[in-house]
Structure 1
Amino acid sequence: MQSNLAYFVTNLLVVLGVLVHMLRPLTKSSHKFASFKGVQRLLTRCKSDNSIPTKKYDLVVVGGGSGGLACSKEAATYGKHVAVLDYVEPSPQGTKWGLGGTCVNVGCIPKKLMHQAALLGEAVQDARKYGWTVPENGIHNNWETMSSAVQNYVRSLNWGHRVQLQSKNVEYLNAKGYFLDNHTLEATDAKGRKKRIVADNFVVAVGGRPKYTEIPGALECAISSDDIFWLKNKPGKTMVIGASYVALECAGFLTGLGFDTSLMIRSIPLRGFDQQMAHLVTDHMASHGTNMLWKCVPESMEKLSDGKIKVTWKNTETVEAGSDIYETVLMAVGRAPETTKIGLDNTEVQLHASSGKILGEHGGDLERSSVPHIYGIGDILEGRPELTPVAIKAGKLLAHRLYGNSTVQMDYDKVPTTVFTPLEYGCVGLSEEEALDKYGEDNLEVYHAFYKPLQYSVAERDASQCYIKMICDKEGDQKVHGLHFLGPHAGEVLQGFAVAIRCNLTREIMDSTLGIHPTSAEEVVKMHITKRSGLDPTVTGC
C-alpha cells in the first residue's frame, strides 16, 4: 500500500512539474510557482529521503538570539505551533555557547560585565582620594575569577531562555536549519540526526559571526569576540585589530583590567558614528593607556614555539613596517551574516550582493523577504541597525502582524545606542555629518559643552574628553535631530532623552527643562553655546 501511494505521489508531481514548466512564461510573479528545477529536486528527495520524519508548524524561527526568541514567544501567545532552531557552530578556536545568541553569550552581556570590572578597578584607585585605605602595592584583577563569574551568569541566562520557551509552549530544537526550498527546512542535530520541517511562515534570525582578515596565520593565531569572554586563562599582552565598537570596547576593558593592550586602526574609528565624538573616545583611550596604532594593517601572524604570537604590520600612509610579540591577538574587523550557510540559495530569497544580508521591504512589510512567507529580523536584514533592542522589537511587532491583525511596522529611525568604551559614548538621532548632509550647514545649529563630572573633582581625574553636543534646526522652535553624550553612564543618561527625541523634542523645550543637580545629565539641558558662535564651550559653573 505504501509503495503504491509513493508511486502515485511521484507521478502526480511529475505531471505538476510539466504543467508548471508550461505555465511559467505566463506568470509575472516568480514566487507563485516553483521552478521546474525545484520540482526535480523535490522528486529526488521524495525518492531518496522518504525515511526522514517531517513535522509541520505554523511558524519556524531559525536562530535563537534575542530577536528570534522574542518573535517566537510572542507568536506563541496567539496559540500558534511555534518552533525555534538554534545551533552554534564552534568558532575557529573551538568556542561554543548556549541558547540566547550573540548578545547573551559573546556580546552585550559579558562585554558590559567586563567593562564594569574595569570601571571598578578605576574606582578603587579613586578611592584613595576619598579617604579609603588602598594597599600601597596596588590592586590587580584575577581574570579566572572574573571570567568564571561572567560565564556562570551567562549560563544562567541560557537556562532561563530554555525555561521561558517551555513555559510559552515554544518547541526548542538544538539543531542546524538548512532550507531545501521555499517551504522546507532540514534540521540536523549534533549527532547528525535529521528532521524535515515545513511551516506556514519562516523567520530567519541567525545573526552574524566575526570576520577574519585574509592574512597568513590569522585563522590559526587570532581569536575574536566569539572567544575573548570564554578564555580560561588571562589574555596577557594583547593586540586588538579593528576600529568597530567591538574593537574599542574590548581594547578598553582589557586596558582597564591591567593588560598591556594595543589597538590597530586602519582608517577611522567607529565608522557610521559621529566622528568628532569617535575621536574623543580614542583620545581618552590613548590617554588612559591603550597603545594606538593608527593607519596600520596587519600583514602576517606567526605562532612562536613558546605559544606567543608575532604580528607584523605596515603603515598604509608611510609604508613603514613594524612588529611585536603578543600573548593574544583579537580580531574585531567586522561581522558577516550567517545567511550564506543556511540554504537560502535553494529558495527565492534575495540577498544583498555585497553584504549577503536579506533584502526586506517587500509587499509593504519592512521585514518580509522576496518570498512572502519568509521574513528576516535583526542583524541579517540589510540596512538595519545591528542592535539587540532593534531585533527584539522588530520580532515582537512581526509576530503581532502575522497573528494579531496588527499593521504596526518597526520604526528604524532615531534608534539610541551606547558604545561601552572606558568613557562611554551614547547617541540618538543623526550624527553631525549626517545632519549637515541632509539639512545643510546654514539650516542647523549645534550646541555643545565640555563639562566635568562632579565625581572627577576630588579624584582629580582628567575630564578633557567629557563632551556633549546637540544638533538642531537653526530657526523656529529648533527641533532636535541628534544628541551625543560622552561621559560616565552615557547609556543611562541618553535613554530618557531618546524618548523625548522620539516625541519631537525641541531646543525650546530643552531650554525650559530644569536639570537634576548635581548630575552630568543636567549639562545636557544647560547647553547654551553654539559652535557657530566660536565661544569656549567649557562649563565653568552653575
Structure 2
Amino acid sequence: MVFSKSYCPFCIKVKDLFKELQVDCNVVELDLIEDGTNYQEMLLQMTGQKTVPNVFINKTHIGGCDKTMQAHKDGSLQQLLSGEKENYDYDLIVIGGGSGGLACSKEAAGLGKKVMVLDYVVPTPKGTTWGLGGTCVNVGCIPKKLMHQTALLSTALKDARKFGWEFDEKGEGSTGLRSYVNAYAEFVEPHKIKATNKRGKETFYTSERFVLATGERPRYLGIPGDKEYCITSDDLFYLPHCPGKTLVIGASYVALECGGFLAGLGLDVTVMVRSILLRGFDQDMANRAGEYMEGHGVKFLRQYVPTKIEELEAGTPGRLKVTAKSTETDEIFEGEYNTVLIAVGRDACTDKIGLDKAGVKVNAKNGKIPVNDEEQTNVPHIHAIGDILEGKWELTPVAIQAGKLLARRLYAGSKLKCDYVNVPTTVFTPLEYGSCGLSEERALELYGEENLEIYHSQFWPLEFTVPGRDNNKSYAKIICNKLDNRVIGFHYLGPNAGEVTQGFGAAIKCGVTKELLDVTIGIHPTCAEVILLSVCGNRIKDPEKVV
C-alpha cells in the first residue's frame, strides 16, 4: 500500500518503481480523497512520518521514497514482496542500558517498534555493581557533579563569613520500554543473541536490527596489587567509608575531577601524573586548571608511574604502600595512602559480546567500532552509538543525541544525523574548564600560526572579590581563523563553566565571528561578559605552539 499525493514527484518515483517491478499496489491519493488530511494525521501518529509517499508492504512500514529505494537497492524490498522476510522476535535489540542505549530504545518504542534492552553490569574487582542507567547516572556525570557541588559549598561557607553571614558550623549531612532484561548479551549469529542472567540461565532472542551501546569501563594498570587493592571511579561513589588520604593515579578529566572534589571535602589528595594533564584538551588551559588545584591543596607527583601496590593494613580504609618510578630518572618513590584511585583511561566493552560471530569489524588495538556517518557498522543491520565509536566524543549528551536520531532515521523516515563537530564540554575541576571547538595546539596544526588570531584575558569574578580570593586566576581565550574571522576555539576557566560554555557553543555552531562577538552586549555583572569586553580586546601577538 502506498499513501501518496498525485502531484508529488517522490510519490511518482515510488509508484513507477512498483510498476517496473510489476507489483500490484493499492495507492491512496491523499489529495484526492475527502478525509486525506485525517489519513495523514493518523499515519503520522502510527509511523512518525509526516511526508509522502508512505509505503507499507505486508503490514511492514517501509517509509518514504529514500527508504523504499534503499530497500530495493539492498534486496530487502524483494524479500518483503515475496514474503521471505524472517519473523524475528524483536524489531530492535539494544545491547547496553546506558544513556545512549536508553535514548535509542525509548525513541524506537515510541515509534511503535517492538524493542528489547539488554543490560548487565559486570562487578568491579571490589564487587561494585549497579542497575540500569549506565556510567553517567550511576558512577559518572551525575554523582561527580553532585560531589563537585558539595566541595564548592565548602568554599562558599568560608566566603559567606566575608559577606557578613554568621552561623554555627555544626552541621549534619551524609555523604517507556517494551522489554528490559538484566542479562549479559552475546551474539551467536548475525541476527541472534544469547542472554545470560546472573544465575547463569541462557535465553536466545532474534531481532531484525541491533544497536550496540555497551560503553566503556575503567582501565587498570596491569601491575601487582592494582585490582586487589585499588579502586576506580566505578567504586568511589559506592564507598561506605571516607577514603582518607588518597592517591589518584592519572591525569584524565576523571582523575582531576575526583581529586578536586575529594580535596574540596577536606581530604589529603595527591595526583600522580605520568606526562601531561588532560591529554587532548588545550594544554594552556589544562595547566592553568592544574595550577589552581595545586594552589588549593592538591599535591601533584609529576613524571611518575606506579610499579606496585601493597597492602600494609586491612580496614575501611586500610593502609596501602605505593611504589613508583620516575619517567625521567632512576628515582624511586614510595608512599603510604588509605585509598588509591586509578583513573588512567577507559576501555570499550566490545571484546566479549561475540561481535566476530556477527561479522562486525572492531579496531583490535582499542576495541572501538568504526561506523559510517549514520552510526552503521560494516554489518548493515547492526549500528553502534556512544563511547565505543572510533574517533567520536565520549560524552553522555552525544550518545543520547546519536541514539535518538538513529531511531528516528530507522523508523520515522528522518534524515537528520548526529553532528560530532564543535561539541561543547566542561571539566568539573575545582575551577571549572569549559571548551568548544579546537584547542590551540590543534588549531596551529590545522591552520598554521600565520592564519590564527588568538584573544585572551585573565579575570577576577565579582563573587571572588569580597572574600578576596583567587585574583586573576580565572582565564578565557578565543581562537579565530584569520581567513574568515570565524571563532574556531572557545576556552573558559572559571565558575559556572558549563553554563557559560553552552551559549558560546551554540554561537560557534552558528558560525559566529569575532566581529559578531564585538557587537554583542554582555550581561553585567557576569563572568560571561568578560569574553565580550576583555577577551575580544586582548590579542596574543605571537601564539606559540605548545608541545
TM-score of the pair, normalised by structure 1: 0.82
Aligned amino acid, residue 211 of structure 2: V
Map 1:40-439 onto structure 2 (within 5 A): 56-134=89-167, 145-146=174-175, 164-165=176-177, 170-306=178-314, 307-361=318-372, 365-439=373-447
Q: Which secondary structure state, in structure 2, belongs to the residue aligned with residue 493 of structure 1?
A: helix
Q: Partner of 1:493 in structure 2?
A: 500
Coordinate RMSD, CA, aligned: 1.7
Looking at structure 2, the residues matched to 64 and 380 of structure 1 have their Cα atoms a distance apart, in angstroms, of: 14
Contact 2:465 2:471 (C-alpha < 8 Å) held by counterparts: no
Q: Is the 8 A contact 2:246 2:341 kept in 1?
A: yes
Q: Which residue in the other structure is 2:515 paired with?
A: 508
Amino acid corresponding to residue 323 of structure 2 in structure 1: T
Q: Is the 8 A contact 1:283 1:465 kept in 2?
A: no
Contact conserved, 1:141 with 1:258, CA < 8 A, in 2? no
- 1:42-101 CA deviation, whole Å, 9 max, x = no partner? xxxxxxxxxxxx971000000000000000011112111001001111011100111100
Please state how far the C-alpha of 1:473 moved relative to its aligned partner. 1.7
* CA displacement 1:393-436 (0-9 Å, x = unmatched): 00011101111112221110000000000000000001111111
- Partner AA of 1:480 in structure 2: V
Identical pairs, percent: 56
Give how far 1:487 is off.
Answer: 0.2
Contact residue 430 and residue 482 of structure 1 kept, 8 A: yes
Find the residue that maps to 1:304 and give its secondary structure. strand
Is the Cα–Cα contact under 8 Å of residues 460 and 473 in structure 2 kept in the other structure? Answer: no
In structure 2, the CA distance between the partners of 1:141 and 1:506, relative to structure 1 (3 Å rule), is farther
Cα pair distance change 1:140/1:329, threshold 3 Å: farther
SS of the equivalent of 2:224 reads coil
**CA contact under 8 A between 2:374 and 2:406: conserved in structure 1?**
no
Question: Following TM superposition, by how much is the alpha carbon of 1:141 offset from its aligned partner in structure 2, in angstroms?
Answer: 8.7
Q: Offset of 1:345 from its aligned partner?
A: 2.1
Corresponding residue SS for 1:339: coil
Cα offsets for 1:377-404 (capped at 9, x unmatched) = 0001111100000000000111011111
Distance 1:215 1:139 in 2: 43
Distance 1:249 1:439 in 2: 32
CA shift, 1:462, in A, is 1.3
1:481 to 488, 492, 504: 488
Change (3 A) 1:332 1:343: same
Unaligned runs of 5+ in 2: 1-73, 76-86
Query: Compared with structure 1, are the counterparts of its residues 270 and 533 closer, same or farther at alpha carbon in structure 2 (3 Å cutoff)?
Result: closer
CA spacing shift, 1:282–1:408, aligned 2, 3 Å: same
Distance 1:299-1:485 versus aligned 2 partners, 3 A rule: same
Residue of structure 1 equivalent to 2:62? none
Question: Could you tell me whether the CA contact under 8 Å between 2:313 and 2:320 is conserved in 1?
Answer: no
Q: Which residue of 1 aligns with 2:525?
A: 518
Amino acid at match of 1:424: E
Separation (CA, whole Å) in 1 of partners of 2:295 and 2:472: 10
Contact 1:238 1:261 in 2 (8 A): yes
Offset of residue 190 of structure 1: 1.5
SS of 2:538's partner is coil
Tell me the distance in 1 between the aligned counterparts of 2:421 and 2:542: 30
Does residue 462 of structure 2 align to residue 454 of structure 1? Answer: yes
Conservation of the 8 A alpha-carbon contact between 1:212 and 1:331? yes
Does the Cα contact within 8 Å between 1:127 and 1:134 map onto a contact in 2? no
Deviation sequence 1:248-271 (CA, Å, 0-9, x none)? 000000000000000000011100
The one-character-per-residue Cα deviations of 1:190-214 (angstroms, maximum 9, x if unpaired) are: 2222211110100000001000001
Name the amino acid aligned to 2:388.
I
Deviation at 1:318, TM superposition (A): 2.3
**TM-superposition CA deviations, 1:7-62 (whole Å, max 9, x none):** xxxxxxxxxxxxxxxxxxxxxxxx99xxxxxxxxxxxxxxxxxxxxx971000000
Q: For the residues of structure 1 that align with 2:294 and 2:213, how far apart are their CA atoms? A: 37
Contact 2:212 2:382 in 1 (8 A): yes
Q: Which moved more, 1:465-474 or 1:61-70?
A: 465-474
Give the secondary-structure state (helix, strand or coil) at the position aligned to 2:180. strand
Distance in 1 of aligned mates of 2:332 and 2:466: 43
Shift of 1:464: 3.6
Give the Cα separation in 2 of the matches to 1:139 and 1:325.
31
Question: What is the correspondence of 1:519-538 to structure 2 with a 5 Å cutoff?
Answer: 519-526=526-533, 527=535, 528-532=537-541
Distance 2:193 2:510 in 1: 43
| Poorly superposed stretches of 4+, deviation over 3 Å | 138-142
With 365-374 and 118-127 compared, the bigger mean Cα shift is at: 365-374
Aligned residues: 454
Shift of 1:353: 2.5
> C-alpha distance in 2, partners of 1:88/1:416?
29
- Check 1:281–1:402 CA distance in 2 against 1; reply closer, same or farther (3 A cut): same
Report deviation, 1:215: 1.0
* Higher helix residue share: 1
Match of 1:42 in 2: none
Residue 391 of structure 1: SS of its match in structure 2?
helix
Q: Tell me the SS of whatever aligns to 1:230.
A: coil
Q: Measure the CA separation in 2 of the matches of 1:252 and 1:319.
A: 30
Q: 1:533 to 1:208 in 2, by over 3 A?
A: closer
Deviation at 1:366, TM superposition (A): 3.3
How far apart, in 2, do the equivalents of 1:241 and 1:276 lie?
21
Q: 1:228 Cα shift?
A: 0.3
User: After superposition, what is the alpha-carbon deviation per residue over 1:177-202, rounded to whole angstroms, capped at 9, x for unaligned?
Assistant: 01112111001112222211110100
Distance 1:329 1:424 in 2: 24
Deviation at 1:475, TM superposition (A): 4.8
CA distance in 2, matches of 1:140, 1:263: 29
